[in-house]
Amino acid sequence: MKSNGFVKTLLHWYANHKRDLPWRQEPLPYNIWLSEIILQQTQVKQGLPYYERFITLFPNVWVLARSTEQQVLKAWQGLGYYSRARNLHKAAQYICNTHKGVIPNTYAQLLKVPGIGPYTAAAIASIAFLKPHAVVDGNVIRVLARLYGIREAVNRPAGLKQVQALATQLLYKADAGTYNQAIMEFGALQCKPQSPPCSICPFAEHCEAHRSHTVHLIPHKIKAKPVRQRHLHVLLAGPAKGRYFMRQRTSGDVWQGLYEFVCLEHNSATLTPAGQHASHKQVMQACGKRKLLKVYTHKLSHQTLNVKVYTVALQPEQIPGYKAYTIKQIKNLPVSQLTAQIGHDAGIF
């Protein structure tokens, strides 16, 4: 298919089908940046209430920069991939310190901002500043791989390179922002991952995957590593009624910066003093009188958390590193979706 025919059809489709989204009504650089970070690995429907919340709580880059990381994490709570929130906060500080609060307007400068990679830099540069950079995200990869019949694995360098070259070649430079939004919207609404409605697609006649009945096979991806199984034992304990021991998670694992109840990780689903963690010996002894409350299976992108939650009596000296918090305080702490669910099910918050 010729690139001008493709662009014309795509822009026509977009004009008739685009969703009315708040950052499209007011495409300020701050709004575009915020929406792009929130929508990484997140569907529009899920991200929309978070966008509204962030715009209300942090209406500009200065307010975001002056907030605490804890406030930002709390506003992000439930959206997952929390490094995005930490980077958003760091980025706001970087933009205020280095660019006097003005979001940089070139692809190269945008790439220096924490949390902004090639995709986000291209999206902001094109949508907010009308610069000619092609975006390549999951939607764009799927659309181009199907239309042009790319059989190579798109999660390997050779396949990705082909898609990137095509994306650059097809880019409508006169209005790169609208073009980029159009192709991403087309992937999200029309050329969906599963069973796209090809019979009503404006490209059906030209689409290689449709013509060769291989839509379900494209884009081809090489399977990721097997999911890691982890066994966590969460202890709901406190020094007095209405108070619970919690701590802030540190780096090197999921949910960095979020708070959690007492949590022991074992290499099995059974909590025994014979477990690997010698430092937990005292806790294990106290756990003799534990009561199992509930069992959860919580899936993350590359790991499955098998979680058992107990109530148990513990003394502060048995769990160094944890502090007791009142229920009112806990409600203001940023926690993972799993911890929120545990707290909710146990009637804590």
Q: Which amino acid is at 252?
A: G
List the interface residues with ligand SF4, window 147-166 (CB under 6 A). 147
Beta carbon nearer to ligand SF4, 136 or 147: 147
Nearest approach, Cβ of residue 108 and ligand SF4 (Å):
33
**Residues 6 or more apart in contact with residue 25 via CB below 8 angstroms:** none
x/- track of binding to ligand SF4 for residues 181-210 (CB under 6 A): ---------xx----x-x--x-xx--x-xx
At residue 233, the 3 state secondary structure works out as: strand
> For residue 267, what are its two tokens?
């290499």
Q: Which is nearer to ligand SF4, 70 or 190 (CB)?
A: 190
Per the CB < 8 A criterion, the answer to whether 178 and 132 are in contact is no
Where helices occur in 270-336 by DSSP H, the ranges are 281-286, 327-331
Helix boundaries (H) for 155-296: 157-170, 176-189, 208-211, 281-286
Contact, 321 vs 236, CB < 8 A? no
- Residue 36 in tokens: 């792009």
Cα-flanking dihedrals φ and ψ of residue 341, to 5°? Answer: -65, -45
Within 297-326, the residues that bind ligand SF4 by CB under 6 A are none
Nearer to ligand SF4, 84 or 146 (CB): 146
Pick 104 or 219: Cβ nearer ligand SF4: 219
Q: Whole-number minimum distance, CB 217 to ligand SF4, in Å?
A: 11
- Measured CA to CA in angstroms, residue 118 lies from 224, 274, 325 at distances of 22, 48, 41
Spell out a b/e string for 294-307, using b for 16 or more CB atoms within 10 Å of the CB, else e: eeeebebeeeebbb
CB-nearer residue toward ligand SF4: 218 or 236: 218
36 has catalytic annotation:
yes
Minimum distance of ligand SF4 from residue 3's CB (angstroms): 15
Distance from first CA to last CA of the chain, Å, rounded? Answer: 57
32 forms part of the interface with ligand SF4 (CB under 6 A) = no
Considering beta carbons, is residue 195 or 251 the nearer one to ligand SF4?
A: 195
Q: In the structure encoding, which two tokens stand for residue 21, read together?
A: 């989204």
CB of 162 to ligand SF4, least distance (A): 17
Q: Does 146 bind ligand SF4 (CB under 6 A)?
A: yes
Residues near ligand SF4 (CB under 6 A), total: 14
Could you tell me the CA-to-CA distances from 175 to 10, 22, 39 in Å, in that order?
A: 13, 20, 22
Instruction: Find the catalytic residue in 26, 36, 205, 265.
Output: 36
Q: Write down the least CB distance from residue 184 to ligand SF4, Å.
A: 14
To ligand SF4, the closest distance from the beta carbon of 202 in angstroms equals 8
Confirm if 260 and 335 have CB atoms less than 8 A apart.
yes
How big is the CA angle at 339 (ends 333 and 340), to the nearest 5 degrees?
70
Return the range that interacts with ligand SF4 (CB under 6 A); candidates 6-14, 90-98, 143-151, 224-232.
143-151
Catalytic residues: 36
Judged by the rule CB under 6 A, the positions of this chain that interact with ligand SF4 are 143, 146-147, 190-191, 196, 198, 201, 203-204, 207, 209-210, 215
